[in-house]
């Protein structure tokens, strides 16, 4: 069965170009998306703190989530009131 949420290299390249991601980070981004390899500290910092990189990550996650019908949290979700012991 083919994964409905799979992203092609062409789709990822388009997203990276749209968000003006430096080509030096493309191999690392591809390793993250296609192989789940954790990014290095510099790229991780950019993904969390630099606008176009954070927006790029959001666009990638949105694309990967297109085939998924489950949404979190569910409409009736209430946070648990637990004490930390």
Question: pLDDT tens digits, residue range 18-70?
Answer: 999 999 999 999 999 999 999 999 999 999 999 999 999 999 988 888 877 77
Cα 29 from Cα 41, distance rounded (Å): 13
Is 39 inside a domain boundary? yes
Q: Give the pLDDT of residue 2.
A: 47
Q: Is 33 left (phi over 0), alpha (psi -120 to 50) or beta?
A: alpha
Number of domains composing the chain: 1
Is 19 inside a domain boundary? yes
**Structure confidence at residue 5 as a pLDDT band (50, 70, 90):** low
Is 83 inside a domain boundary? no
Q: Would the pLDDT of 83 be above 50?
A: yes
Domain of 37, in residue numbers: 9-64
Is 76 inside a domain boundary? no
Cα 2 from Cα 65, distance rounded (Å): 15
Is 48 inside a domain boundary? yes
**Structure confidence at residue 81 as a pLDDT band (50, 70, 90):** low
Q: Give the pLDDT of residue 77.
A: 75
């Amino acid at each position: 069965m083919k994964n409905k949420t799979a992203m092609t290299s062409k789709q990822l390249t388009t997203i990276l170009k749209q968000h003006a991601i430096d080509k030096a980070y493309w191999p690392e981004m591809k390793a993250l998306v296609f192989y789940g390899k954790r990014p290095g500290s510099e790229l991780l910092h950019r993904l969390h703190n630099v606008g176009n990189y954070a927006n790029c990550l959001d666009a990638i996650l949105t694309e990967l989530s297109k085939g998924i019908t489950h949404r979190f949290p569910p409409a009736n979700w209430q946070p648990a009131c637990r004490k930390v012991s």
